[in-house]
Amino acid sequence: MRLVACELKRAIMFVRASVSLYPWALNFWSSTSSANCRSVCSSQITHAACPGEFGLRALENRAFTQLSGGERQRVLLARALCQQTPAMLLDEPTAHMDVGYQTAALRKVASLAREGKCVVVALHDLNLATVFATRCALLFGGRLVAEGPVEDVLASGNLDEVYGTRFTRIREPMSGRLFVLPEVFQLEQRADRPRRVHVIGGGGSAAPLLSELWQLGHQVTLGVAYEGDSDFTAAQTFGIAAVCAPSFAALEGETMERAYRLAQDADVVIVSESPYGAANLPNLDLAQRLREDGKAVYVVSRCREQWDFTDGAATQKISALLASGATEIPFGEITLALASEG
């Protein structure tokens, strides 16, 4: 079947990222034509289409040229939706919108896709694609780099190449969706001499440390961590080898031996500030054992009294660890300490 131009125009609706032609805008050299009047009518239909979702009621009496970028985009998208075409091509439909209207716009578009419309959207926000799209095509330099289910495309290493930056991939615990975050705070220089570092954490205290060490290029291990703890989630995110135990389980026996074996190759052991109870107290015994093996051990800070839920046992163990030659160090000085390690 061959579509002539007028039929194709009615079948496919297209929204550009920005539009600078406003046929109903008056000037000193022209008057309002019948075509312009029809455009005004079209705009009025837009206001009646979905005013609640796009917040268009408040814009009814304002000229289009007086609207902000996000307001213009909401008007243009609403006008396009009113055309009720079977196919929709949207080029950055959420450009300039705040997050609330971005969500409302794509929720509306996604609902139309579920009703059977063909919807193709060009987006630069990868995480919006994760939430609303079913399939994704990654384009770069005029070529198709990857195509398939959104999660498969985002999980691949192609993003790093296409966007010229490294991405951290995080699975949102409530929905299970995969989100990607560019490493905005990626350090400009990696460590001149990458070290093998074993981190003993807990209660989410090690997650920032794992991120910094990984970005610096150090070979990092973790343990023992609890399943569901953000320390363990961070280790999974960065591909860090870790020994874990079920949540709230007592750390003992084979679990501690596996952590000890994992830490054997480490040049440095770092004990992050963590709350301690009877269940995870053996992590401090692990640090003491590694110190007695001659390993350099850094304690990020002393166990604060309010984080010691062992009637003082954790505080005593940290004091003994420091007395045996471990070094207490502020978080911000860890990088320098690793650089000075022979």
**How much is the pLDDT for 183?**
72
Could you give all domains of the chain from N- to C-terminal order, each with its CATH number?
A: 5-182 (3.40.50.300), 196-340 (3.40.50.850)
Residues 233, 224: Cα–Cα separation, whole Å: 13
Tell me which of 73-82, 133-142, 156-165, 172-181 is least confident.
172-181
Question: Please, which pLDDT band fits residue 321 given cuts at 50, 70 and 90?
Answer: very high
Neighbours of 162 (CB within 10 A): 14
**How much is the pLDDT for 199?**
97
pLDDT tens column, 272-311: 988 999 999 999 999 999 999 999 999 987 545 668 899 9
Average pLDDT of span 48-61: 68
Q: Is the dihedral of CA 300, 305, 307, 310 positive or negative?
A: positive
**How much is the pLDDT for 27?**
43
Cis peptide before 224 (omega within 30 of 0): yes
Residues 329, 338: Cα–Cα separation, whole Å: 11
Q: What is the DSSP letter of 138?
A: E
Residue 50 has pLDDT above 80, yes or no: no
Question: Length of the chain in residues, anyone?
Answer: 342
Q: Are strands 241-245 and 219-226 parallel, antiparallel or unpaired?
A: parallel
**How much is the pLDDT for 316?**
93
Cα 282 to Cα 185, 207, 285, 314: the distances in Å are 34, 20, 5, 9
Cα 337 to Cα 257, 325, 328: the distances in Å are 27, 15, 11
User: Could you give the percent of the chain with pLDDT greater than 70?
Assistant: 80
Residue owning tokens 């807990």:
202
Residue 186 has pLDDT above 60, yes or no: no
Cα 301 to Cα 29, 134, 201, 332: the distances in Å are 74, 47, 12, 11
Q: What is the DSSP letter of 144?
A: E
User: What is the rounded average pLDDT for all residues in the chain?
Assistant: 82
**How much is the pLDDT for 29?**
39
Q: Which is more confident, 19 or 70?
A: 70
Helix (H) or strand (E) segment spanning residue 276: none
Average pLDDT of span 125-137: 92
Q: What is the DSSP letter of 60?
A: T
